[in-house]
A and B are shown apart, each in its own frame.
Chain A
Amino acid sequence: MSYRLFAALSLLVGLGAMVAEGRPRYGGTLRVEMREAVRSIDPGDWPPDAQAAAAKERLVPLVFETLIRLDENSRPQPGLALSWRHDSSYKKWRFRLRPDVVFDDGSVMTVEAVSAALRPLNESWLVGSDGDVLLVDSDVPVPELPYDLADPSKSICLRGDNGRISGTGPFRVAHWGPGRRALLVANEQYWEGRPFLDSVAIEMGRSLRDQLLDLELNRADLVEIWPNEVRRLAQRGAKIRSGAPNILVALTFERGRPAAEDPRVREAVALSIDRAALHSVLLQKQGEPAAALLPQHLSGYSYLFSSGADAARARRLITVPVPPLVLAYDASDPIARAMAERIAVDARGAGLTLQVTGQAAGADMRLARLPIRSPLPAPALAEIASAFHLADLWHPAPRDTIESLYATEREMIDSHRIIPLLHLPGTFGSTPRLKSWATPGVCKSGRWRLDDMWLDTETP
């Protein structure tokens, strides 16, 4: 065993042996690391890239809040709005705001300030006020408005003349180094109670490998980890926190590549893949094998899709020689290469040759992962269709019934332009001294509840 590994192991074991406390303690700086380099915490500046958006979604709620929140069962709950009502057509919505909320610059949250924050977020909304009631009118029915308003991109912020933006959340920004590091400090006036932590120091742009090492060397308290590291880290005393399996890992075919345009080839690849082996061997049974694009907890019907491999049927589909296909994977993803190579082995059993590469250029297919952000099935499927260029298979109307949504997803999968492989949870490793109080600290959505976390100290 190398000295470095021994030292790392000793640190984690030492922390694991610490006497823990029950009631939370105030104070301390939480050291957090993340892979994405989040350029801005401004909720009005949302990145189009899904990975970047998912990372930003973990940071924004630490500083900014939405009118409505979603609970762990994705049901709308009061946030900055205490209550709301709508007319029978779902076009007129009225919100009563929570009183005595202040922005972190000290100014009181008023209905005018909330109106000003909401107005630019959706041009089809007519936002106004009537006394202390916030009005949101729309020309079209918006029955899912509470879900829309719960999205962090719809956070309420106050824009000062000096370009500073203030939020009402549990922390405020003390320093923001775009894409590199940030320091958030406790909002002493937070309406839901000052956070236990004094501050949160965030290091961005850290590779998963570096994050793991920093956790093991006690240079970080909370890091992102890949699910295949869960068992090893847990055995070494780290605490593991996971959300629901909302990250879709899928194989997609690039449009216009001759081999990829052959539906029999795509179907043969789909039939050749042994998802159970990917799940149990490479992912060490973390997450779920996926035969559907939406996870079961989101759609309720994904069990209707079959994920069984059928190499014999795959071989029967290949009646003429197929030139080697190039499968690209994300070279910065520590487990993607192993997954791609496993898929290539499976494809060989169907008579197909896959060449795996970390270069995207010239690839016929790619191994991709997409964090699914929406808590509702229809917008979630729309996200997937958009991210994987399946817009021609996405039929926006009628999508208001679960049957039509199922039919749309069935069509997408039967096209074999996208092959779902796994649904993985956002997974985080932490030192044992990081504890949470009223919540598990990581929501099912994968978002952090750092306001509810606290740091234990070593018993003398």
Chain B
Amino acid sequence: MILHSPVATSADSTAAAARELAEKTLAATGPLENVQLTFRNRTSLTALEAEEAFQVVEKELRSRGMRFAGESETTARITVTLSENPQDYLWIAEIQRDPGRDLVIVTQAKSADAPAARPAAKMDLRLTLTVEQNDPVLDIAYAQDELVVLDPGHLTLFRRQNDRWVPQKSAPIPALRNPPRDPRGRLRLSGETFQAWLPGFSCSGSVSPSLAVECEKKEVPWPLEQGPAQLEPGKNSFVAGNLPAFYSVAAAGDEAGRSWIFTLVDGRTMLVDDALKPAGTIAGWGSDIAGTNSACGTGRQILVSLPGDALEPGSVQAYEVIRRQAVAVTPPVVLPGPVTALWPLTSRGGAMVVSHGIKSGRYEAYELSIVCGP
């Protein structure tokens, strides 16, 4: 039996397709002299990837006796187009010479993985890509040389190797039978032990000497910045005390005193004082915020996801709250897709932000830090 698995396109299969195209082309034309060869890429492959493929074709044709020339001396023109349909790449050679035109088509099964989008450039807010994967990254936490990544089905331990985080071990996490569609998750690491909060589950364990996770099916309060809050069952919002349901919370503060900011389910962003009494609203923010400390400005910034939806790239901008007014202190940084998670990284300062790439379809987790300008 053959297991369902996507057919991978490899250098081998590219070479085989190029060979077949060359063989079929030669069969149609015989060895030709003074051929003008041109290439076109009509696929989603990058110009570089396509160029590599075309070089293989040219080499195969040469090795079979075909000789190429400039335009003025041409006796035949061959246009090789790399095209695609849902299942295959199509290598199409159009051969034009007296007395007519020949067509050769060769197919090459596609790889399952589409080209991935790459992160945006650095700005005053510094973005550093940490990990990317197909499953939604809910939260990350750093140990000394290790990184722990929480997604709805796994807790995965990464180690730094050659400047990249490479997965080492993964432990499964139980899932609800009908998990929420917009899952949230929080991870706290303390030394070699951790705690994780997920919809319907509370987990704990250790990362050393080996990765071990134990989960219990119970709703426990999540440790948010203003204190414990309960995730609403089956939903993506929190409740705490008499506060209206909210998505996220961050502390703000200046000489006017400490305040809290809540992004509410009803669309408002509400500023409350230390006694949790309403002190104003803020316009133009999205639903995720994370407070962070830095050596810049007032020393306290709120990282804010800006409004958008799945059709648009997400963006994050840093604000300070001065005399209960929100003031943008950095330009926004644009992400490859909407923001699906934004949590403070308490151990390192800054925050982690996860974006669901519009083109790649993958979840990319970034470390987000504030860089003081000149």
Contacts and interface: CB of A to CB of B under 8 A. Distances in A.
Nearest to B337: A438
Contacts of B114: 73
Interface stretch (B31-39, B65-73, B81-89, B200-208): B81-89
Contacts of B180: 193-194
A94 B361 CA distance: 29
A23 B236 contact: yes
Interface string A86-123: 11100010100000100000000000000000000000
B181 A22 contact: no
B311 A75 contact: no
Given A303-B42, A402-B107, A94 B1 contact: yes
Interface string B18-55: 00000000000000000000000010000000000000
Given A94-B1, A300-B83, A304-B92, A75 B6 contact: yes
Interface in A368-409: 375-377, 401-403, 406
Interface in A1-58: 19-26
B185 interface: no
Interface in A166-181: none
Interface string B257-275: 0000001011110000000
B103 interface: yes
A94 B2 CA distance: 10
B94 A22 contact: no
Contacts of B267: 19, 21, 25, 456-460
B3 interface: yes
B339 interface: yes
Interface in B287-334: 287-288, 305-311, 314
Interface stretch (A154-162, A184-192, A248-256, A257-265): A184-192
Contact of A376 (B4, B87, B182): B87
Contacts of A298: 85-86
Q: How large is the interface on A (under 10, 10 to 19, 20 to 34, 35 or more residues)?
A: 35 or more
A440 B87 CA distance: 22
Contacts of A23: 182, 236, 247, 263, 286-288
A403 B93 CA distance: 12
Tell which of B6, B179, B306, B311 has the most Cβ of chain A within 10 Å. B311
B150 interface: no
B4 A83 contact: yes
A297 B287 CA distance: 37
A301 interface: yes
B278 interface: no
B4 A85 contact: yes
Given A73-B86, A83-B4, A300-B85, A22 B314 contact: yes
B3 A100 contact: no
Contact of A299 (B85, B177, B268, B308): B85
Given A193-B179, A439-B310, A19 B284 contact: yes
Contacts of A226: none
B234 interface: yes
8 contacts: A23-B263, A75-B86, A88-B2, A194-B180, A195-B181, A296-B42, A375-B86, A439-B310
Q: Which 3 A-B pairs have the closest CB atoms?
A: A22-B286, A193-B181, A74-B86
Interface of B: 1-4, 6, 42, 81, 83-90, 92, 94, 103, 105, 107, 110, 112, 114, 177-183, 234-236, 247, 263, 265-268, 283-284, 286-288, 305-311, 314, 338-340, 356, 361
Given A403-B105, A435-B309, 4 more contacts: A22-B314, A189-B178, A193-B183, A301-B83
Interface of A: 19-26, 72-76, 83-88, 92, 94, 100, 146, 188-196, 239, 241, 296-301, 303-304, 375-377, 401-403, 406, 435-441, 451-452, 456-460
